[in-house]
Amino acid sequence: MQNLPLEDQIREIKKMLRATMNGVLSGSMRQQGLTYRVNFGVDQPRLIELSDEIPHTAALAAKLWKEDIRELRLLAPMLMPRDEMDEELALLWIEQLHFAEEAQVLVMHLLCHLPFASDIAFRLVASEQPMSRLVAWLLLGRLFMAQHRPSQRDADELLDHLESELTAQGNDPELKRTALNTLYKFMDLGAAETARGERLLESLS
């Protein structure tokens, strides 16, 4: 596939997806509000397997990201070479996110591996856009799991934003749940972080 023109590569990828499509899962996703032009219903583990058979190039990833097809948009972060994703492009992709699943895949397979991941997370954590904040909490959670410990100043800022997220009225339940999970991962960093997290949780009860 590597030597095929870009459009032919995309056609081959669509053939692979059709061969593993799941109509029941696709229908269920539509009922949940995932309204893509096309949804093959291929689950993420299978997409990860397929990504190993597809060229990892920035041109292909960028082309897939622009498609209104669920699986192509999820494959794009898996295929984008990490050294070709700069901060400006990362922020553009975040701005173009449609659904939480895309945010999760983008963070897991690409953003959390970038050298400026922390900068992006702290830039987005105060965003007025719920999807941007979702990315921030997902990304911070991943960084904490990798034992990235914030400075005292960053921790202060983080906890302030967490308190705002968890006490805001009308926030999406998934956004609040993700923020809470990020707090728990922060608390796993050590005794000092645990104590600070517990004080925040007590103030919320």
According to the model, what pLDDT value does residue 92 have?
A: 98
According to the model, what pLDDT value does residue 31 have?
A: 84
The contacts found for 120-123 with CB under 8 angstroms, 24 or more apart, are: 120/87, 120/90, 120/91, 120/94, 122/154, 122/157, 122/158, 123/91
Token reading at 130: 């719920």
Mean pLDDT for 120-140 is 96
For residue range 62-109, what is the model confidence (pLDDT) as tens digits? 999 999 999 999 999 999 999 999 999 999 999 999 999 999 999 999
* DSSP-assigned letter for residue 151: P
- Would you tell me the crossing angle of helices 70-79 and 44-51 to the nearest 10 degrees? 50
For residue range 10-48, what is the model confidence (pLDDT) as tens digits? 999 999 999 988 888 888 888 888 889 999 999 999 999
pTM of the model: 0.93
Helices (H), 43-170: 44-51, 58-65, 70-79, 87-95, 100-109, 117-124, 130-145, 152-167
For residue range 166-180, what is the model confidence (pLDDT) as tens digits? 999 887 889 999 999
pLDDT band at 189 (very low <50, low <70, confident <90, very high): very high
Euclidean distance between CA atoms 126 and 122, whole angstroms: 8
Decide: 105 and 123 in contact? Cβ < 8 Å.
Answer: no
Residue whose C-alpha is closest to residue 7's, from 81, 67, 52, 85: 67
According to the model, what pLDDT value does residue 30 have?
A: 83
Q: Whose structure tokens read 């004080």?
A: 199
According to the model, what pLDDT value does residue 104 have?
A: 97
Helical (H) or strand (E) element with 31? helix 23-31
Mean pLDDT for 98-124 is 97
Instruction: Calculate the average pLDDT of the chain.
Output: 94
Sequence-ordered list of residues with C-beta below 8 angstroms from that of 128, at least 6 positions apart, any chain:
none
Euclidean distance between CA atoms 201 and 205, whole angstroms: 7
According to the model, what pLDDT value does residue 193 have?
A: 96
